[in-house]
Structure 1
Amino acid sequence: MNHPAVVKKAREELDTQIARDHLVDESDISKLPYLQSIIFESSRLYPVAPLLAPHLSSADCTIGGYNVPVGTILFANAWAIHRDPTLWNDPTSFKPERFENWKSKGYTHMPFGGGRRACPGEGLA
């Protein structure tokens, strides 16, 4: 609601892709790329869990120049990654267009975590 141009564009997409007397169904999602972009951008700015589930280092390693001994509890800060200016242009602005034709570049967008410990509710969301 804070971005009327985005709402207008989403409404136009819904009106052209979905009949007015039809509720949006899961099978309709593939026909709504702009709506998907809005969801991606919303989850980038406001991840479900800003700090992802803790992990335990299984071997000595180096992360971001820091030596991490085996057995260290590690937290990934999804909130900081999603707002990192080296990964995102204008990271604090709401711009769904950044996700049009988007291909993931590693772990840059992970509002539900990643790998085996990703949130099982991601599909439901």
Structure 2
Amino acid sequence: MFAASETSAVTIEWAMASLLNHPELLEKLKLEIDEKIGQDRLIEETDIPNLPYLQNVVSETLRLYPAAPLLVPRLTVEDIKIGGYDVPRETMVMVNAWSIHRDPELWTEPER
């Protein structure tokens, strides 16, 4: 239970830090929430599909600051080639999600 709340809290902290560093994006998010939800109540789970910009903010936060930057390790079951490298059978392979999410060959502006 603690691990799940910790990763959620850290993601929210990164989202808030990013929004505070980009006040124009914070304003855009506030406008969406005010228009769709108003100021008289809290956002509920059923509201999420109607808040596409909020969904984008969360997705980008998770891309830039993943809660688990290294994915679960895997053991190769046969000799394979990955990215031009020979990887023997029974080699522990880890995927670095943090690096992939910031790769300029995959993202036009990876740090944004």
TM norm structure 1: 0.72
Q: Calculate the aligned-residue CA RMSD, in Å.
A: 0.8
Deviations 1:57-76 (A, max 9, x none): 11111100011111000000
Can you give the 5+ residue segments of structure 2 that lack an aligned partner in the other structure?
1-19
Q: Whose Rg is larger?
A: 2
* Structure-to-structure mapping, 1:79-98, within 5 angstroms: 79-93=98-112
Q: What is the CA-CA distance between 1:19 and the residue it aligns to?
A: 2.5
Which structure has more relative contact order (CA 8 Å, sep 6+)? It is: 1
Which of 31, 49, 72 matches 1:53? Answer: 72
How many residue pairs are counted as aligned between the two chains? Answer: 93
Which of 23, 27, 38 matches 1:8? Answer: 27
Deviating above 4 A after TM superposition, structure 1's stretches of 4 or more consecutive aligned residues are: none
Can you give the 5+ residue segments of structure 1 that lack an aligned partner in the other structure?
94-125
Deviations 1:5-55 (A, max 9, x none): 000000000001003111100000000000010011111110111111111
Deviations 1:67-98 (A, max 9, x none): 111100000000100000000011112xxxxx
Report the counterpart of residue 94 of structure 2 in structure 1: 75
Q: Percent identity?
A: 51
Q: Distance in 2 between matches of 1:11 and 1:17?
A: 10
